Amino acid sequence: MSKLFIVGHPGHYGGAASELAHQIKLWHRSFPEIELNLIPTMENCHNEPMYQEMLDIGIKYHGARDYSAISKEDAIINFCSKEYLQDLDIINRQTNRVMWVNCMTFLFDDEMRQGEKGLISHFLYQRDEVLCGHKHFLQELGTTGRFMRFSPYFDDSNMDFSVKDQEKTHIGRISRQDADKFSINTLHIYEYIVSPKMKEGHFLGFDDRSKAKIGKPFDWIKTYTSHRVLPVKDFYNQVDFIVQPMDTVENLPRIGFEAMFSGKPLVVDNKGGWKTLIEHGHSGFLCNHARDFIYWGSRLAYEPELRSMVAQNARKRAMEMASLEVSTESWRKVFESVFN
């Protein structure tokens, strides 16, 4: 039996942790011939919400940043962790079947340094645009690793698809609390979205960092520090659609899949991975300016039939991109390359 060591820990919230959670579910279901092992990057992982779930499906745990159980026939993978990049010298003494998933649109300094030293055998990407850009630069540095794209799986079994007609118009945004995740125009946009009903806003992922960037939200906007205050599923069951201007260039946002599988139309920036997920006017709305966010947010508030149409189209698009079948085939090619 082949062994795959996974560095990090899955979670219900946040980009890399959530991404990893969905992929582990697929690996467990689609590749029973591969034994899954978890190596956390931090102590006390037994306090993590998904710890027991991982034990229940038979995943073996090892100590934090403890690579001693790995043999040269085994493979190892990580999603966007600086600790993993820092430990690659140690890891390569155990195995050279080393996979690195860059969830971002930029290269990390340690990624370039370790790639140049030949310590990464497989660079994995979700979008061809990012793969091509990174590949060119890393090969210029002299890396010998292989570059491959995979289709990330999204398990929608815990998401409720619903398009509701509520007493108020509920508008939401969801991200980490980091200031860069917020556009300085966020409150301006929310203020000027026009609705035939009273508006109620919901910001999941908001703290002092966010407040310092955009200011104090209006009284009609509720804020929640994290999923521990308002679970992700409850957030999507509450809102009618998402209006999310950001300063970051997103790669392939997990919240995009969450919203699309939940029936919540997306009004987002016309850049990065949003352009891969969304066909403008059909499965969501791509915006170049604050006035675009205001216009499409107002249209969705006034036109429930538009919300319904976009929600249905978005769910179909998400299923095409992140289904079990599509993702399994892409991971099969990756594992064949790594283990052979």
In CATH terms, are 2-153+323-339 and 169-321 the same topology? yes
What is the DSSP pairing of strand 60-61 with strand 266-269? unpaired
Tens of pLDDT along the chain (340 residues)?
A: 899 999 999 988 767 888 999 999 999 999 999 999 999 999 988 888 899 999 999 999 999 999 999 999 999 999 999 999 999 999 999 999 999 999 889 999 999 999 999 999 999 999 999 999 999 999 999 999 999 999 999 999 989 999 999 999 999 999 999 999 999 999 999 999 999 999 999 999 999 999 999 999 999 999 999 988 999 999 999 999 999 999 999 999 989 999 999 999 999 999 999 999 999 999 999 999 999 999 999 999 999 999 999 999 999 999 999 999 999 999 999 999 999 9
CA separation for the pair 42, 128 (Å, rounded): 32
- Please give the DSSP secondary-structure letter assigned to residue 217: P
Termini Cα distance of the chain = 13
CA dihedral 79, 85, 87, 90 (to 10 degrees): 100
Which of 266, 241, 246, 248 is CA-nearest to residue 256?
266
* Domain parsing of the chain, residue ranges: 2-153+323-339, 169-321
- Please give the DSSP secondary-structure letter assigned to residue 312: H
* Residues in contact with 161: Cβ distance below 8 Å, sequence separation at least 6, in sequence order: 261, 262, 263, 311, 315
- Tokens coding 250: 């997103």
Pick the CATH number of 169-321 from 3.40.710.10, 3.40.50.2000, 3.30.2270.10, 3.40.30.10: 3.40.50.2000
Handedness of CA 105, 130, 24, 239 (dihedral sign): positive
AA identity, residue 337: S
pTM check: above 0.85: yes
* Residues in contact with 294: Cβ distance below 8 Å, sequence separation at least 6, in sequence order: 189, 192, 193, 194
CATH topology for 2-153+323-339 is: Rossmann fold (3.40.50)
